[in-house]
Amino acid sequence: VGVGRHRAAELDAADPLRTYRERFAIDDYGLVYLDGNSLGRMPRATPACLQQVAAVQWGDRLVRSWDEGWMELPTEIGDRLAAAALGAAPGQVVVGDSTTVCFYKLVCAALELRPGRTEIVTDVDNFPTDRYALEGIAQARGLTVRWIQGDPAAGPTPELLAPLLGEKTALVTFSHVSYRSAHIADMAAISALAHEAGALTVGDLSHSAGSVPVELDRDGADLAVGCTYKYLNGGPGAPAYMYARAELHDQLRQPIWGWLGRRDPFAMEQGYLPAPGIRALLSGTPPVLSLIAIDEGVNLVAQAGIERIRAKGIALTELAIELADTKLADRGVTIASPRDPAQRGAHVALAHPDAERLCAQLIERCVIPDFRRPDVIRCGFSPLSTRFVDVWDGIEALRALLESSR
Amino acid sequence: VGVGRHRAAELDAADPLRTYRERFAIDDYGLVYLDGNSLGRMPRATPACLQQVAAVQWGDRLVRSWDEGWMELPTEIGDRLAAAALGAAPGQVVVGDSTTVCFYKLVCAALELRPGRTEIVTDVDNFPTDRYALEGIAQARGLTVRWIQGDPAAGPTPELLAPLLGEKTALVTFSHVSYRSAHIADMAAISALAHEAGALTVGDLSHSAGSVPVELDRDGADLAVGCTYKYLNGGPGAPAYMYARAELHDQLRQPIWGWLGRRDPFAMEQGYLPAPGIRALLSGTPPVLSLIAIDEGVNLVAQAGIERIRAKGIALTELAIELADTKLADRGVTIASPRDPAQRGAHVALAHPDAERLCAQLIERCVIPDFRRPDVIRCGFSPLSTRFVDVWDGIEALRALLESSR
């Protein structure tokens, strides 16, 4: 019984974004890729773009390319990204270092803006690298991290957050979409609560940007960071971006002072003076090839439109949950993501005690989800490159596995 | 009179490294590139390698590539680089973030190892981004930077360094080869002096690695950093490397705690524990495409051999100085680099009051040096891709310019 594969195929036929799959390099040998929220598919145009940039900008123009465009790449790609996926006006986003380094810089910058305050609030289910970075900063500065101990299938809800806030709170940091459960945090409510306490926010958009609408300006975000290699399809380890609300720029100081974040960098003068605006968040030379590889993924999101991407993400995850309920529930699989699509990003966490073994066996069968300890099979449905039949095939493969291992 | 172009051509014909120029993408339209110490030439093999990595490792293998090689890239490329160019035994070098971020991490790590000491010693002519990073760290921690005010054409000599050292000194940091004058610092003597005072050293190898022999293990270096886009031809903004002497690994703590530097990173557990060995210096996900682009440049240095590269670097700079003395000295150009080749890296600083204008005019004529304020025309002679006739043509172009603007 249940939903047949033909219905999934019909959904694909009616999908207004169906042609976008052709914009990615996808060989049709039956791989069911459900990990676009860990490393997104490669846009078909990217290798030729890389080759062209290498041959012309590096190989031919050489050092002259810094004056001919490279210096502006961090802000140019930042502005395009801001418009396509972040709900941020120009001049507030810059692309640079790794997500971890960018997060570190923003947290330190926020702490500088709230001197004397000694507490950072986050949740125990926040993304590991964010937790580790906070621990390191807190230890170095003698600060306290106050941990929200919430429902893992939810995130840092305003209700859980509010009692931890006070006049000691410097900073609230949270993932916009939980890397495990896909729960969408209420950014506007969290911002308002933090501001009421006189604190700032640092949001991590790694699992939301490019899959759900982000409205940084509207929702009162102060600082935000995110990676570009998941739903933005920028490639492995592609540089992360940083957002800082324009009103903060005048006082903004980040800890890693380098030549690219200095006013008039080629002057190479004595003494550091931060560059005006968002460039003050830059430090050293960005990895240009990896930076340029981001561009096509951002273009695809801009062309498809985040609202249509969101609609498809909801439809894909709704189908996955419907199929899991009918095919997997009686085999011990539970849904560890919010059932309300308004609270859920573009992935679904399926919980099972044997999740680790099941994931390994799925991968052997060319169905690729993510295992997340201790018991989660995480299925990411990157809307631009995932079909409804992929959802069907993935869930069916898991059903067959559970069936055969009885 | 002086040296004719034919003698330069003879030197090229006799050059044992002459075939290496063919390993770089160089179109023969007469560009005289004297800036390989700012952005090195592109190895001919790199674009195809990038395309292959993108198509297969990213496009086809996708997230599986992390298990199939990407996780080991930072240490694998680090070890190859260590053997080819750094004089370091395996397990002590890792490639990761930008040079500025790596330098920041190493300086903070050194300070952690010398608690209670409040002074950092460096020289006013050290590379700008290093100076800026130090200023930021000193301001954040209430430390003092003691500046060596030396001869700009020399670097931090042991004689100038010694009086600034004492029981307050946490750290001595210096460029192995000065970015401006090309002066080679005496790494062994600086290390010995620092250690005598109980301090550590952080060396910046950006202008030496790949052009002059570096002997980190032999010369008692503690920590070191360097970029890969100059003499290592890794491409624009290619990630930098960090060296930490093996004996320091047990106590080493860097400030930016992230998932890649954690023990068992995929466990994603609560609490940060540094990875064993050199991996503890890693933070977030490295830019894989830019990381892989380093490999061919390192291969070329390994194949050519650093001793032969050094010999050619001396010969190129000796020719440049000889030509400058005969053709440019009576037109107001002076040599702002050491005349003793044993004290000079692979570039030559030519000083002239109109250096800025002259550089701009040379670039218009497809001769590309670097202008370094206030008065330096910096000519880099990357040994693997620069011919003796390029030296001749570059100096002749400058002579002709000075002649015509009389």
Give the count of Cβ contacts less than 8 A between chain A and B.
Answer: 251
Number of C-beta neighbours around residue A406 at 10 A: 5
B133 → closest Cβ in A124, A129, A257 = A257
Give SS3 for B108.
Answer: helix
C-alpha B37/C-alpha B93 separation (Å) is: 22
Pick from A348, A143, A130: nearest CA to A240: A130
B136: chain A residues, CB-CB within 8 Å:
255-257, 272
C-alpha B265/C-alpha B171 separation (Å) is: 31
Pick from A353, A402, A400: nearest CA to A376: A353
Pick from A273, A285, A267, A179: nearest CA to A231: A179
Best residue in A29, A61, A139, A256 for a mutation probing chain B (most B CBs within 10 Å): A256
Q: How far is CA A175 from CA A212, A378, B35, in A?
A: 13, 17, 44
A256 → closest Cβ in B46, B100, B372 = B100
Q: Rg of the Cα trace of chain B?
A: 22
C-alpha B285/C-alpha B303 separation (Å) is: 30
Pick from A371, A351, A374, A349: nearest CA to A361: A371
3-state secondary structure chain A: CCCCHHHHHHHHHCCCCHHHHHHECCCCCCCEECECCCCCCCECCHHHHHHHHHHHHHHHCHHHHHCCCHHHHHHHHHHHHHHHHHCCCCCCEEECCCHHHHHHHHHHHHHHHCCCCCEEEEECCCCHHHHHHHHHHHHHHCCEEEEECCCCCCCCCHHHHHHHCCCCEEEEEEECECCCCCEECCHHHHHHHHHHCCCEEEEECCCCCCCCCCCCCCCCCCEEEECCCCCCCCCCCCCCEEEECHHHHHHCCCCCCCHHHECCHHHCCCCCCECCHHHHHCCCCCCHHHHHCHHHHHHHHHHHCHHHHHHHHHHHHHHHHHHHHHHCHHHCCEECCCCCHHHECCEEEEECCCHHHHHHHHHHCCEECEEECCCEEEEECCCCCCCHHHHHHHHHHHHHHHHHCC
Two tokens, residue A246: 């324009």
Two tokens, residue B255: 């400030």
pLDDT digits (tens, 9 = 90+) for A135-186: 999 999 999 999 999 887 777 899 999 999 999 999 999 999 999 999 999 9
* Angle separating helix axes B306-327 and B388-404, nearest 10 degrees: 20
Give SS3 for B284.
Answer: coil
**Would you call A46 and B63 a contact, using CB atoms and an 8 Å cutoff?**
no
Query: Residue A72 contacts by C-beta under 8 Å, 6 or more apart in sequence?
Result: none
pLDDT of residue A93: 98
Parallel, antiparallel, or unpaired for β B144-148 and B169-175? unpaired
Q: How does DSSP classify residue B240?
A: P
C-alpha B128/C-alpha B154 separation (Å) is: 16
Q: How does DSSP classify residue B239?
A: P
Strand order in the sheet with B119-123: B93-95, B241-244, B223-226, B200-204, B169-175, B119-123, B144-148
Tens-digit pLDDT string for chain B (406 aa): 578 999 999 999 999 999 999 999 998 678 999 998 899 999 999 999 999 999 999 999 999 999 999 999 999 999 999 999 999 999 999 999 999 999 999 999 999 999 999 999 999 999 999 999 999 999 999 999 999 998 877 778 999 999 999 999 999 999 999 999 999 999 999 999 999 999 999 999 999 999 999 999 999 999 999 999 999 999 999 999 999 999 999 999 999 999 999 998 888 788 999 999 999 999 999 999 999 999 999 999 999 999 999 999 999 999 999 999 999 999 999 999 999 999 999 999 999 999 999 999 999 999 999 999 899 999 999 999 999 999 999 999 999 999 998 6
Two tokens, residue A146: 């106050």
Question: Which amino acid is residue B132, in one-letter code?
Answer: Y
**Would you call B50 and A55 a contact, using CB atoms and an 8 Å cutoff?**
no
A55: chain B residues, CB-CB within 8 Å:
25, 42, 47
Q: H/E element holding B357?
A: helix B355-364
Pick from B295, B337, B247: nearest CA to B81: B295
B63 → closest Cβ in A38, A98, A128 = A38
Q: Which chain B residue has its CA at the smallest distance from A128's CA?
A: B268
CA B208 to chain centre: 5
Q: Can the peptide bond before residue A43 be classed as cis, meaning omega within 30 degrees of 0? A: no
Give SS3 for B204.
Answer: strand
C-alpha A38/C-alpha A291 separation (Å) is: 18
Two tokens, residue A314: 């909801």
Pick from A117, A90, A107, A87: nearest CA to A201: A107
Q: Where are the alpha helices (DSSP H) in B114-221?
A: 128-141, 158-161, 187-196
Query: Residue B383 contacts by C-beta under 8 Å, 6 or more apart in sequence?
Result: B17, B211, B231, B304, B309, B310, B312, B313, B316, B346
Q: How does DSSP classify residue B331?
A: G
Q: Which chain A residue has its CA at the smallest distance from B42's CA?
A: A59
pLDDT of residue A406: 66
Q: What is the pTM of this model?
A: 0.97
pLDDT of residue B166: 98
A133: chain B residues, CB-CB within 8 Å:
256-258, 283
**Would you call B372 and A62 a contact, using CB atoms and an 8 Å cutoff?**
no
Which active-site residues of B does the annotation give?
Answer: 127, 204, 229-230, 378
pLDDT of residue A230: 97
A390: chain B residues, CB-CB within 8 Å:
none
Two tokens, residue A193: 């609560």
Pick from B371, B323, B322, B317: nearest CA to B344: B317
Determine contact, residues A96/A280, Cβ cutoff 8 Å: no
Pick from B146, B151, B212, B152: nearest CA to B176: B212
Q: Which chain A residue has its CA at the smallest distance from B98's CA?
A: A284
Two tokens, residue B135: 């200023």
DSSP B16-60: TTGGGGGGB----S--EE-BTTTSPPPBTTHHHHHHHIIIIIIII
Determine contact, residues B252/B58, Cβ cutoff 8 Å: no
Which active-site residues of A does the annotation give?
Answer: 127, 204, 229-230, 378
pLDDT of residue A154: 78
Angstroms from B198 CA to nearest CA on chain A: 23
Q: Which chain A residue has its CA at the smallest distance from B41's CA?
A: A59
Q: How far is CA A373 from CA A338, A351, A354, A378, in A?
A: 18, 10, 10, 10
Longest dimension (CA), chain A: 74
A235 → closest Cβ in B58, B128, B262 = B58
pLDDT of residue A153: 79
B257: chain A residues, CB-CB within 8 Å:
132-133, 135-136
pLDDT of residue B406: 66
Determine contact, residues A173/A126, Cβ cutoff 8 Å: yes
C-alpha B294/C-alpha A289 separation (Å) is: 11
**Would you call B236 and A38 a contact, using CB atoms and an 8 Å cutoff?**
no
C-alpha B362/C-alpha B369 separation (Å) is: 8
**Would you call A39 and B58 a contact, using CB atoms and an 8 Å cutoff?**
yes
Determine contact, residues A368/B63, Cβ cutoff 8 Å: yes
Could you list the mean pLDDT of each consecutive 10-residue stretch along chain A, which spans 406 residues? 88 98 89 95 95 94 96 97 98 96 98 97 94 96 95 85 97 97 97 98 98 98 98 97 97 95 86 95 94 95 98 98 97 97 97 97 96 95 97 98 87
Residue count of chain B, please give it.
406
Two tokens, residue B249: 């690994």
C-alpha A203/C-alpha A286 separation (Å) is: 22
pLDDT digits (tens, 9 = 90+) for A199-223: 999 999 999 999 999 999 999 999 9
Angstroms from A1 CA to nearest CA on chain B: 34
**Would you call A289 and B290 a contact, using CB atoms and an 8 Å cutoff?**
yes
pLDDT of residue A1: 54
**Would you call B47 and A55 a contact, using CB atoms and an 8 Å cutoff?**
yes
Q: Give the CB-side neighbour count of residue A390, counting CA atoms within 13 A.
A: 29
